[in-house]
Structure 1
Amino acid sequence: MKNKNFQVEAVTNHIVMWLKEYATQAKVNGYVIGISGGIDSAVTSTLCAMTGLPLLCVEMPIHQEVSQVTRAKEHISFLKAKFNNVQSVEADLTDTFESLIKAVPSSQSEYLLNLTLANTRARIRMTTLYYFAGINRSLVAGTGNKVEDFGVGFFTKYGDGGVDLSPIADLMKSEVRQIGEYLQIPSSIIIAKPTDGLFGDDRSDEDQLGASYDELEIAMLAHEQGAKTDDFTGREKEVFEIYSRLNRINQHKINPIPICIIPTSLL
């Protein structure tokens, strides 16, 4: 799926200026970002590097699948070859993750245990990014796209969802890819199957979601236009049902945290 009306260069420049102005107004030095080997973190980190502000790229392996580590290192090398404001650090969190597992009880449900441990990985990484952001007086840049953050809620609350700002959260996955091609991101990253890398294997986002991002984009646009399940047949109906279900059950992540407002009569 490709948006033919998408103004790649103009959008790229807009995000870079937005990032630069935000950091300047916040009076911070620059940005910190986790590098996963995926297209979203590759594009976001390149946009951050283009600001000219200091950028720290952080690798945070936890029993990581080899191809993900290889792509992450390839992208960091790509950035350092193009920008002199980029530095990198590796924080191997495998032992930290294992220590936490030993300190907490297990679960009788293997499904719930695996899902909880996957989210725990993301939250350990979030804490690590904020450590590096703190000692460098920098902000944590998020890497979520529009479908993930506002469509199906495919992120971990207070994990990869715990960031200071989201540069690409108004872009569909296909638009992120277009920017990646424009920025000449390594092709191995552009063509790689998207994965959250939270299970220590090579399962893709599509394996978990049951639909590709291109399919989910179509469903998201239809949903926003008020479409109903009965408007579709076959695979399109199946994907629309997947999107609608995930959008419904993940509203607790998509919407701001609810606040219990106390009536003035009780104050």
Structure 2
Amino acid sequence: MQTEKIVDHIVNWLKDYATQAKVNGFVVGISGGIDSAVTSTLCALTGLDILCVEMPIHQAPSHVSRAVEHITQLSNKFPNIRETRVDLTPVFESFKTEVSLEGQDATVAMALANTRARLRMSALYYYAGLQDLLVAGTGNKVEDFGVGFFTKYGDGGVDLSPIADLMKSEVYALAKVLNVPTSIIKATPSDGLFGDARSDEDQIGASYPELEWAMKMTNLGKKVEEFSDREKEVFTIYSSYNKTNKHKMDPIPVCKIPHNFLSKN
């Protein structure tokens, strides 16, 4: 993997896109995780106006401290970095008072987790519209096109995706070249949407290296019958998520009206 060439390619792609769109730069949500750290650093390298937004909602202290560490490092290194903090916890709590929380606990918890992501998307687009910026997505390839591990119209609601053609392992490789804080590189991946310590692996049932393997096997046309033990389990997990979350990864379906229905009688 030629990390330096990939960095240059993404940075040039971002600059070209911003120029053609006639915008000032990008806004990036900073979570304290590896994907947002790499994405924001790549955006910073464009030299364009970059707004880093931290948006805690009952966030774990470790997530907050990593986000602050990363933003501080970027601000010290790049003069084009601006930052703001939007505490969405009161908004989230107010939302909960206005909706029904009846139902199975797991279903309600998932709906509220997705609501957190959608509140953050709204905040990012508010600043994007206010300051003539584009919202840069932070999803990687295995999340965005493998298992669909993102919130539709939440962290999936973006203007462009700089790292969505990179596997999680490749994002880590870029992080080292980009000097992302060690605390972030070593942190266990977690979306932080449930207000507890559960990791991405806890939720999915497989690690990112395992999911990358399953995605590769799927692309090679392999079938579940060809595996056994843990490999069979991981392949089944991947296949299930890939099938269930197709509605996130495919274009929005449009009901096509027959031409003769639209013609005048």
**TM-score, reference length from structure 1:** 0.97
The residue type paired with residue 180 of structure 2 is: I
- Is 2:32 aligned against 1:53? no
Counterpart residue number, 1:3? none
Shift of residue 108, structure 1, vs aligned partner: 2.1
The CA distance in 2 between the partners of 1:143 and 1:194, in whole Å, is 13
What are the equivalent positions in structure 2 for 1:29-178 lying under 5 Å apart?
29-178=24-173
The CA distance in 2 between the partners of 1:97 and 1:108, in whole Å, is 19
The CA distance in 2 between the partners of 1:125 and 1:184, in whole Å, is 26
One of 230, 245, 253 as aligned partner of 2:240: 245
Shift of residue 8, structure 1, vs aligned partner: 0.4
**TM-score, reference length from structure 2:** 0.98
Shift of residue 96, structure 1, vs aligned partner: 0.2
- Is 2:256 aligned against 1:257? no
The CA distance in 2 between the partners of 1:203 and 1:36, in whole Å, is 15
Secondary structure of the structure 2 residue equivalent to 1:179: helix
Counterpart residue number, 1:208? 203
Identity %: 64
- Is 2:177 aligned against 1:182? yes
The CA distance in 2 between the partners of 1:68 and 1:106, in whole Å, is 27
Residues 215-237 of structure 1 deviation map (CA, whole Å, 9 limit, x = unaligned): 00000000011110011111111
Residues 13-53 of structure 1 deviation map (CA, whole Å, 9 limit, x = unaligned): 00000000100110000000100000000000000000000
- Is 2:14 aligned against 1:19? yes
The residue type paired with residue 208 of structure 1 is: Q
Shift of residue 197, structure 1, vs aligned partner: 1.0
The CA distance in 2 between the partners of 1:41 and 1:32, in whole Å, is 11
Please provide the CA RMSD for this pair: 0.5
The CA distance in 2 between the partners of 1:8 and 1:106, in whole Å, is 47
Shift of residue 66, structure 1, vs aligned partner: 0.5
Residues 120-147 of structure 1 deviation map (CA, whole Å, 9 limit, x = unaligned): 0000000000001111100000000000
Structure 2 residues without counterparts, runs of 5 or longer: none
Runs of 4+ in 1 over 2 A off after TM superposition: none
The CA distance in 1 between the partners of 2:103 and 2:196, in whole Å, is 22
The CA distance in 2 between the partners of 1:191 and 1:111, in whole Å, is 29
The CA distance in 1 between the partners of 2:12 and 2:129, in whole Å, is 23
Residues 50-107 of structure 1 deviation map (CA, whole Å, 9 limit, x = unaligned): 0000100000000000100000000001101110000100000000000000011112
The residue type paired with residue 164 of structure 1 is: D
The CA distance in 1 between the partners of 2:72 and 2:166, in whole Å, is 25
The residue type paired with residue 91 of structure 1 is: V
